[in-house]
Structure 1
Amino acid sequence: MLDSSNDLLETVKQAAYEAGTLLREGYSQKGRIAFEQKGTSDFVSYYDTAAENIIIDCISSAFPDIAFLGEESGLTPTDSDYTVIIDPLDGTSNFLHGVPHFSVSIAVTKGEELIIGVVYQPLLDEMLWAGQGIGAFLNDKPLTTPDARPLTEMLVSTCLPYHAKGDCTTTINQLAVLMPQVAGIRSPGSAALEIAYLSLGRFDAFWSQGAALEFWDIAAGIVIAREAGYTVTDLAGKQSPGQWSSILAAHPERYGQLLGCLKAC
């Protein structure tokens, strides 16, 4: 049983930092990093599993009864109401190719409710984090909701399906609708980080429907974006993300406009 959600939040942040330190060291190595292929466009390296083990060890040492859902280790159920959702290396393909855009992503649910989100970019030493009802932060700096840009000035992020992993037709149709209306569309390759970047104004919105995103890909980013004042639902307008097959995160002043564009495809 948890005595303090603040203690849990601080432990999650520490776990993300320790895992990120390992990833930063691994990224700095010269030469190609060995990996295995789990499935279509789905890779795992030593660093994925080692980082996840660091996170689990760090949190379970402080909260031994807590449950875990990890991308690499799967579900470790307990009787706890709290579950830690882990993507130890969101952006594995970038990491393996030397692209400096990846993150450690950790969220916590209480029952079905997301209550904590931490996304750490180790190369920039930027930790974006949020707790339900306490706001969003970059390291120790509180974040406020950026002003809404007009649609024509918006930089939007998305995930694209590759190797037939997902719905390419839907994605292409949505791109065709949005491309003439916005200032730019990017697919950098770490969904957790890109959703969290809304809180900094680096992106104005994030959406995905064609790409097959898992809960651990988006959970931490959702908490941060919501606490920064953004609206985050699936394209049917549902609030609870456990069973989503799509996502839209946008400023509340632009959410309806973007949702209308995407649902028309």
Structure 2
Amino acid sequence: MTNVTSPTLIDTLKQAAQAAGEILREGYRAAGTIDFQCKGASDFVTDYDRAAEHAIINSVRNVHPKVGFLGEETGATPAQDNNVVVVIDPLDGTNNFLHRVPHFSVSIAVRQGDQLTHGVVYQPLLDEMLWAVHGQGAYLGSRRVVASPARPMPEMLLATCLPYHAKGDCPTSLRQLTAMMPAVAGIRTPGSAALEIAYTGLGRFDAFWSQGARLDLWDVAAGIVFAREAGLVVTDLEGNTNPAEWHSLLVARAERHDELLDALRQAG
């Protein structure tokens, strides 16, 4: 049986992300002519989205045939003879992609039992590969990432996700934004949660939070692995560290995590 915990698993995930990224680059260039069908209010699925997910599954299955899959488009496929599940968001930032906003990513994680162990977040337009393995660190390409010192709250640039249409809790998001805007240097909502969480690990953002917006596991799993391995604290807004039980999210450096947690909980 293939040893799915060997270092070759992360290499397989990176190759799968690159294969999906090539499909998405092609689609981005043709974005004005994409045919898409509506899956829900402002929630579109494109042929490129599906093709990218199939490319990931095929790439991983060819090397590790017994793993399971949890994909945004294809749903759940149980693992055979092991508890390893590959969690896939083939196109995190679909609305950006369709509107030709150059901010989206391929997100692939591995869950073994209740633990997230591997994460890959790939920005295909920049060819940036952000990846991490539990206990082995976080990397941008071949460079190991170490969290930079925390900035004071008034200097922090935060990222968040906002709800839209019926997907989430608009009043909670507005209360939290109202509380945080006077306290920090800026708040951004770029539209690819996996990428923003990973960017927080890189130091491009000082923290990421979400409560009002509805995020599924495939939206955040790979970014969580990367941020934790970069040295950040990742919990929900109750301080819970188990992603299976979350309905909210906070990613921050240890020196600011409790301060942000208190501010957001009071607002929310």
Q: TM over 0.5: same fold?
A: yes
- TM-superposed CA distance for 1:2, in Å, is 4.0
Asked whether the 8 Å contact 1:198–1:204 carries over to 2, the reply is yes
Which residue does the alignment assign to 2:76? 75
- TM-superposed CA distance for 1:5, in Å, is 2.6
Q: 5 Å matches for 1:143-158? A: 143-158=145-160
Of the structure 1 ranges 235-244 and 25-34, higher mean CA displacement relative to structure 2 is found in 25-34
Q: Deviations over 1:157-179 (max 9, x none)?
A: 00000113110000000000000
SS of residue matched to 2:7? helix
Which residue does the alignment assign to 1:42? 43
- Given candidates 249, 257, 260, the residue that maps to 2:259 is 257
Q: Deviations over 1:98-146 (max 9, x none)?
A: 0000000000011110000000000000000000001000011111111
Q: 5 Å matches for 1:1-265? A: 1-3=1-3, 4-29=5-30, 31-79=32-80, 80-265=82-267
SS of residue matched to 1:179? helix
Asked whether the 8 Å contact 1:67–1:78 carries over to 2, the reply is yes
Identity of aligned residues (%): 60
SS of residue matched to 1:75? strand
SS of residue matched to 2:183? coil
- TM-superposed CA distance for 1:30, in Å, is 6.0
Structure 1 length as normaliser, TM-score? 0.98
**Aligned positions, number:** 265
Task: Please list every run of 5 or more consecutive structure 2 residues that lacks an aligned counterpart in the other structure.
Answer: none
Asked whether the 8 Å contact 1:114–1:223 carries over to 2, the reply is yes
SS of residue matched to 2:182? coil
Write the distance in 2 (CA, Å) between the matches of 1:218 and 1:108: 12
- TM-superposed CA distance for 1:26, in Å, is 1.3
Asked whether the 8 Å contact 2:87–2:110 carries over to 1, the reply is yes
Task: Please list every run of 5 or more consecutive structure 1 residues that lacks an aligned counterpart in the other structure.
Answer: none
Asked whether the 8 Å contact 1:37–1:44 carries over to 2, the reply is yes
Asked whether the 8 Å contact 1:41–1:165 carries over to 2, the reply is no
Write the distance in 2 (CA, Å) between the matches of 1:30 and 1:86: 22
Asked whether the 8 Å contact 2:209–2:248 carries over to 1, the reply is yes
SS of residue matched to 2:21? helix
SS of residue matched to 2:244? helix
SS of residue matched to 1:5? coil
Asked whether the 8 Å contact 2:31–2:97 carries over to 1, the reply is no
Asked whether the 8 Å contact 2:31–2:99 carries over to 1, the reply is no
Letter in 2 for 1:60: R
Write the distance in 1 (CA, Å) between the matches of 2:124 and 2:258: 34
Letter in 1 for 2:218: W
Write the distance in 1 (CA, Å) between the matches of 2:142 and 2:98: 30
Asked whether the 8 Å contact 1:32–1:96 carries over to 2, the reply is no
* TM-align CA RMSD: 1.0
